[in-house]
Amino acid sequence: MTVEKKVPKATLQRYPVYLKALRRLKAEGVTRVMSKTLADYVSIESTTIRRDFSFLGNLGKQGYGYDVNDLIQIFSDQLGVNFDEKIILIGAGNLGKALLNYNNWNHVVGEIVCAFDLEPERITGASVPVYGLNELSQRIPSGCRIAILCISKETQETVDLLVKNGIRGIVSFAVDHFSVPPGVYVKQVDVVSSIQELVFETNALHQ
Amino acid sequence: MTVEKKVPKATLQRYPVYLKALRRLKAEGVTRVMSKTLADYVSIESTTIRRDFSFLGNLGKQGYGYDVNDLIQIFSDQLGVNFDEKIILIGAGNLGKALLNYNNWNHVVGEIVCAFDLEPERITGASVPVYGLNELSQRIPSGCRIAILCISKETQETVDLLVKNGIRGIVSFAVDHFSVPPGVYVKQVDVVSSIQELVFETNALHQ
DNA sequence: ATGTGTGTGTTATATTAATAACAGGTGAAT
DNA sequence: ATTCACCTGTTATTAATATAACACACACAT
């Protein structure tokens, strides 16, 4: 967290895209990359990429490009990618368990340490321990800031509980509406709304 | 699809939020709403809401507000919300099936008609018919434009196949990178990237 | 070594989006 | 009826973001 200038929100939202692409390139054995190449890869203008990168220092070299490994390292150092980030899952039903297994999680951003559910005794086949929601304050891992929300009732109450216990970021698959205090960030995933947006875009855009 | 002026992209992305809120309000028995009330509800400035709505016509009345039912009707008519939208699911594994059951889908944006999978014979317990991906061109419902992607291999090939068969919008849970031609819209859902973004925001913002 | 072409980082410009300000139409009260 | 307070729709202003332009540092070839 050594970022000097204020990084624009739009830029912050693109960093994960870059990081994902860079990791993939590294896995493919690529050691250096130019902004234009990366631009084609992630469908973001090369100018935008260079400006985004510039917030983290002078990372590239003229006439050469960027070193992939260096870039990944700097992203990790400066933005606080914590491979030991402790993440909790709230609601260990079908969706929760599916998410657990679907993403190949292995320490890219940390790990899901445990899950909490209203009826923990009913959950079978989860790959992490499942505790009752009422035990949250005792069982929550120390330093845990991120929660994945896969519940369908008592949403606001649960969110309040999470915030009270130190959660600062929530990826939510819950369909219910809820609100959080300032300083808590939410990524809402709603398939129905996403489809709606797609329909609106295909209908309204470029006509 | 009778929208006259060009609707900004940012506005288009907020319409699903409004629609969801309005439907909830209607369910609660609310018949009229003011921009300020809605603003508090969805955490969007009242001015922004009024400007967003104005693209669809003069929907409100001074000193009164908006009629909830009228608003929902107008959204549906003008933006092409099609309650019979035929949606297909690609990849009927654990995640696909979980999504199918998790969202209470019932004709809010249409319905998932059927699913396709590389190994359809291995899928059990799906609530819709599951066909082989190789049958796509024969089995795809006519007029189908939207697909939900829950696969983990041969992603680009599958996407190409979808586009060739008329798909114009994709909600993707696939972790692989893929590209689409212009005119095809993608909503990417990547829990790992979402968490990354949350970590970046909590680290970099308001420090 | 030395020049040359290349691709960065930055500055300048254009575009898009958000907020503020306000004029005027409308409902409700008297 | 008439008045008044209210809330919309729009215009004006500010802020945020994206694109374009370019100077200069560096790798690379000779």
DSSP tag of B207? -
For A118, list phi and psi in degrees, rounded to 5: -65, -35
Higher-pLDDT residue of B45, A82: B45
List the Cα angle B131/B134/B139 in 5-degree steps: 50
Contact state of B187 with A202 under an 8 Å Cβ cutoff: no
Question: 3-state class of B88 per DSSP?
Answer: strand
B168 against A207, higher pLDDT: B168
Q: pLDDT value at position A4?
A: 55
Cβ–Cβ gap A171/B152 under 8 Å: no
How many residues does this entry show for chain A? 207
The set of residues, in sequence order, having a beta carbon less than 8 Å from that of B17 and lying 6+ positions away, is A193, B42, B44
Find which nucleotide's C1' atom is closest to B57's CA.
D9
- Please give the Cα distance from B160 to B73 (Å, whole number): 35
d(CA A10, CA B88): 32
Rounded to a whole number, what is the distance in Å from the CA of B142 to chain A's nearest CA? 16
Domains of chain A: 9-79 (1.10.10.10), 86-193 (3.40.50.720)
Which parts of chain B have pLDDT scores under 50?
A: 1-2, 206-207
Q: CA torsion A186→B12→B50→A173, rounded to 10°?
A: -30
So what's the pLDDT on residue A182? Answer: 84
Q: Assign A78 a pLDDT band (cuts: 50, 70, 90).
A: confident
Q: What is the CA radius of gyration of chain B?
A: 20
Cα(A94)–Cα(A76) distance, rounded to whole angstroms?
32
- Three-state DSSP class for residue A87: strand
B195 contacts A109? CB cut-off 8 A: yes
Helix (H) or strand (E) holding A18: helix A9-27
Distance measured from the CA of protein residue B36 to the C1' of nucleotide C19, in angstroms: 14
What are the angstrom distances between the C-alpha of B147 and each of A106, A192, A204, B29, B140?
28, 12, 19, 33, 10
Predicted local confidence at residue B182, as pLDDT: 84
* Nucleotide nearest B6, from its CA to each C1': C16
Per-residue pLDDT tens over the stretch A156-179: 999 999 999 999 999 999 988 898
Which of these, A94, A91, A102, lies nearest to B127 by C-alpha position?
A94
**Separation of alpha carbons A13 and A3, rounded Å:** 15
Cβ atoms of residues B68 and A193 within 8 Å: no
Q: How far is the C-alpha of A170 from the C-alpha of A90, rounded, in Å?
A: 10
Supply A107's token pair. 């320490």
Which residues of B are less than 8 Å from A169 in CB distance? 195, 198-199, 201-202
Question: Best residue in B6, B55, B123, B203 to probe A by mutation, most A CBs within 10 Å?
Answer: B203
Taking residues A30-38, report their average pLDDT. Answer: 96
CB contact under 8 A, B171 and A190: no
For chain A, give the mean pLDDT.
91
B-chain CB neighbours of A170 within 8 Å are 198
Answering whether pTM is above 0.85, one says yes
DSSP for A106-167, please give it.
TTTS-EEEEEEESSGGG--S-SS-EEEGGGHHHHSPTT--EEEE--SSSHHHHHHHHHHTT-
CA distance A63 to chain B (A): 28
Residue A25 has pLDDT above 50, yes or no: yes
Per-residue pLDDT, A96:
94
- Is residue A200 within 8 A of residue B55, CB to CB? The reply is no
Quick check: A50 and A1 in contact, CB under 8 A?
Answer: no
Determine which of B108, B194, B206, B207 to mutate to test the interface with A (most A C-beta atoms within 10 Å). B194
- The DSSP code sequence of B25-76 is HHHTT--EE-HHHHHHHHT--HHHHHHHHHTT----BTTTBEEHHHHHHHHH
Q: Does A2 score more than 90 pLDDT? A: no
Closest nucleotide to B48 by C1' from CA: C18
Cα dihedral A52→B48→A176→A192 (10° resolution) = -70
- B52-80: per-residue pLDDT in tens? 999 999 999 999 999 999 999 999 888 88
Beta strands in chain B (DSSP E): 32-33, 66-67, 86-90, 111-117, 130-132, 146-149, 169-172, 185-188
Extract the tokens encoding A5. 């200038």
Residue of B nearest to A3 (CA): B204
